[in-house]
A = this chain, B = another copy of it.
């Protein structure tokens, strides 16, 4: 830019758009919003002097040429707020436009000066000049008489009403002459609804569910979809279904004394029957898979596949593409390591190898292969141990043709890395919820997720358990703890999931004291489950998922507010979307009844503090009437450790 151009560019910015939120690394990364949800934007906008400003959001789907507009409201202290609702899945862009509202500046000054007896025809002539250079020139005629003879007496209200004419105002609102446009197309990824609101159920198809004589397969999995859909889940997640390696295969409880009966870990992917694009023949074939997908579709379930980019030593890639793996000096392939531990059953890909381009294309083709088979959700195993640049590239590539695909990052690692994976494209992320137990821990963690920049791109997915993690609390807290953790996950996060039937059947024995792994884990052996057991949590889970499906407040990460309780074992929080207001109270003590006073911040909830308000407990269908801020709650964990209240508005409906 030459000096002259730079200066006139400077001058054009008498109005300053100083800060737009969200704006991730100056537009390097995308904000996120689910299709049909409201996307909010804030901007700090000001100019020198006393002029009144106006501002619009400009937004468009990437394929559209024209911007759409949405007005921003002034919220004081130079902050403007606006929003829009994206109507299609895929990339969008947004900017902010602002300019001096010269007419409104003049009009409000004139009104003050008239009140102070301080105005003359010259002041009105100034307004005519403004109108004359606007898109409302035709209005000058109506004002002109007053610019010659200043209005007096009854003329004044007539004149002031003229200035306020709605047609004039709307014409001027559309006049953006001399406006400043924020310089960067800020990207927004509009995601499918299930990126923001989903209920996951993970299970191992190969296990027995009593209904099966031998080990289960994809046909059995199909038969189980009714049970899963019946509980109200919408996403069914299967661990890897590919052929499993033989070399260094693990036996039960992750030991090495393998026998012919040991099925092996599904994450040791690949053998002579194929790799990431094959199905373990013991589970079935592609016809079985197609039938599974069809049945899921009929039940409005998404099938989520596990993508674990690693190979067993028997994977066809190892012999066909040795160039994709790192070699040790003796010519053997480098196995996975975390010194001094060695994982000789797993060969990691070398994302930096000379042939990285063919490797990356092949891995991309794994996604497109399964998308072709009807899969639109992928749970990605340990993405943080593969090159971040690969993920950024491959997710963007897939999204070009398939913006409806959802990627869940399983990265139980340090916070900066977890956040970065979301920033480069993963729609959802596993979280530390699994280990957040106490009230201060939960409140601090939710504050981090919902109040920091994370909220613009990081969709948490809360899991109380996984095949790898049986947290200490579930080992020791019995049924009340399992109920509590399920309700916390399902009401604190719009995305949550459980690994079942382990979860609803209250499996809770660890591999050993002090360990977080399950004893006799399904990762290494075929288990048998009786899902019809009387103590199953399935009826409760069904109820909780029904509450989620019928309450908009629980379907987004926004609108969470914690409320003080006089007892540290009780946690209370509301979620709110417009008229839908849900108050959840959980007793975090799995052993004892706890009671206390909730200090409900009703002034922040749109309730009239002068009137009683009505609560219905959606878990028990009991009705309550509360008054004012302080109200009493008591929860016995052996009955049920939580309330999920729906609170009805106590304000008069607008006439």
Contact A48–B414 (Cβ < 8 Å): no
From B44, B339, B356, B390, contact of A416 by CB (8 A): B44
Q: Is the CB of A109 within 8 A of B337?
A: yes
Q: A352: CB under 8 A from chain B?
A: yes
**Would B109 and A388 count as touching, CB distance under 8 A?**
no
B417–A46 CB distance below 8 A: yes
Residues of B within 8 A of A10 (CB): 389-390, 392-393
Does A78 touch B at the CB level, under 8 Å? yes
Query: Is there a chain B Cβ closer than 8 Å to A342's Cβ?
Result: yes
Residue among A7, A47, A115, A415 with max Cβ neighbours from chain B (10 Å): A7
User: Which chain B positions have C-beta within 8 A of A389?
Assistant: 10-14
Kindly state whether residue A129 has any CB partner on chain B within 8 Å: yes
CB pair B11–A77 under 8 Å, yes or no, is no
A514 contacts the other chain (CB 8 A): no
Q: Which residue of B lies closest to A106 (CB)?
A: B339
State in angstroms the CA–CA spacing of A328 and B124 once bound together: 11
Residue A631 lies at the interface, judged by CB distance under 8 Å to chain B: no
* The residue from B47, B329, B340, B417 contacting A112, defined by CB atoms under 8 A apart: B340
A122-B356 Cα distance, complex, nearest whole Å: 25
CA distance A77 to B417 in the complex (A): 9
- What separation, in Å, do the CA atoms of A115 and B112 have in the docked complex? 84
**CA–CA, A78 and B417, complex, Å:** 8
A534 interface hit (Cβ, 8 Å): no
Asked if A21 is at the interface of the complex by the 8 Å CB criterion, the answer is no
Residue of B nearest to A114 (CB): B340
Q: A77-B416, A118-B340 in contact; A125/B44 too (CB < 8 A)?
A: no
User: Which of A66-74, A162-170, A232-240, A379-387 is the contact stretch?
Assistant: A379-387
Q: Which residues of B contact A390 (CB under 8 A)?
A: 10
Measured between beta carbons, the chain B residues less than 8 angstroms from A330 are 122, 125
Q: State which of B14, B356, B414 has its C-beta within 8 Å of the C-beta of A11.
A: B356
Question: What mask results when residues 110 to 129 of chain A are scored 1 for a CB within 8 Å of chain B, else 0?
Answer: 10110110100010011001
A5-45 contact mask (Cβ, 8 Å, vs B): 1 or 0:
00100111110101100000110000000000000000010
Binding site for B on A (CB under 8 A): 7, 10-14, 16, 18-19, 25-26, 44, 46-50, 77-79, 108-110, 112-113, 115-116, 118, 122, 125-126, 129, 328-330, 337-340, 342, 351-352, 356-357, 360, 384-390, 392-393, 414-417, 420
Q: List 9 A-B contacts (CB under 8 A).
A: A10-B390, A14-B352, A26-B26, A46-B420, A49-B385, A108-B339, A110-B339, A112-B339, A113-B339
Known interface pairs A14-B351, A19-B416, A49-B385; 15 further A-B residue pairs with C-beta atoms within 8 A, sorted by A's residue number: A7-B393, A10-B393, A18-B416, A25-B26, A26-B26, A46-B414, A46-B417, A47-B388, A50-B337, A77-B415, A77-B416, A78-B414, A112-B339, A116-B340, A122-B330
Which A-B residue pairs are the 8 nearest by beta carbons? A116-B340, A10-B389, A125-B329, A26-B26, A109-B339, A78-B416, A112-B339, A112-B340
